[in-house]
């Protein structure tokens, strides 16, 4: 199996492939320094490919989303300096997260990526 790339957020090489929820039979890559996570994959290899290339994080300094994602939504996965990845909406040149009680608030991510495909439900 090839090697995982360093974390795109902090540059650490301390990344590992994890299985956060065993019941869903998916894997992901976790940076143990800044706690960044990559998109899920059905296998360890798929999680590593997602971390290393497909679904790659983009710095907001390198570009911003153009239009909507493949589902026709304005929601994207984002990483801010002091949080784990979460989703945010990009609208009129600004990023907004959804508040727990409803409404939105401004967020200032350093990186973004399209939302990953949902895992297939293989539970019997």
pLDDT given for residue 107 in this prediction: 93
Q: Among candidates 95, 74, 23, 85, which has minimal Cα distance to 50?
A: 85
Segments of 1-124 assigned E as strands:
15-18, 28-31, 58-59, 75-79, 86-91, 94-98, 104-107, 111-113
- Degrees (nearest 5) of the Cα angle 12, 111, 17? 45
> What is the predicted pLDDT for the residue at 33?
92
Q: What is the pLDDT of residue 13?
A: 92
Contacts of residue 82, Cβ cutoff 8 Å, sequence gap at least 6: none
Task: Compute, in degrees rounded to 10, the torsion defined by CA atoms 61, 93, 70, 38.
Answer: 40
User: CB–CB of 64/74 below 8 Å?
Assistant: no
Q: Are 38 and 51 in contact (CB under 8 A)?
A: yes
CB 35 within 8 A of CB 84: yes
pLDDT at residue 63, as a whole number: 81
Query: Along the chain (124 residues), what's the average pLDDT of each consecutive run of 10 residues?
Result: 77 87 78 85 77 73 76 80 84 89 90 74 60
Query: Which of helix, strand or coil describes residue 20?
Result: coil
pLDDT of residue 121: 65
Q: What is the pLDDT of residue 66?
A: 74
């Amino acid at each position: 199996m090839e090697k995982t790339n360093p974390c795109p957020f902090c540059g650490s090489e301390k990344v590992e492939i994890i299985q956060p929820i065993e019941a869903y039979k998916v894997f992901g890559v976790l940076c143990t320094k800044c706690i960044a996570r990559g998109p899920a994959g059905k296998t360890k290899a798929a999680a590593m490919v997602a971390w290393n290339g497909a679904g790659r994080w983009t710095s907001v300094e390198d570009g911003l989303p153009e239009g909507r994602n493949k589902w026709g939504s304005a929601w994207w996965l984002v990483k801010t300096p002091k949080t784990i990845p979460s989703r945010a909406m990009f609208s009129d040149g600004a990023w907004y997260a959804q508040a727990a009680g409803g409404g939105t608030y401004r967020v200032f991510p350093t990186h973004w990526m399209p939302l990953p495909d949902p895992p297939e439900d293989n539970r019997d």
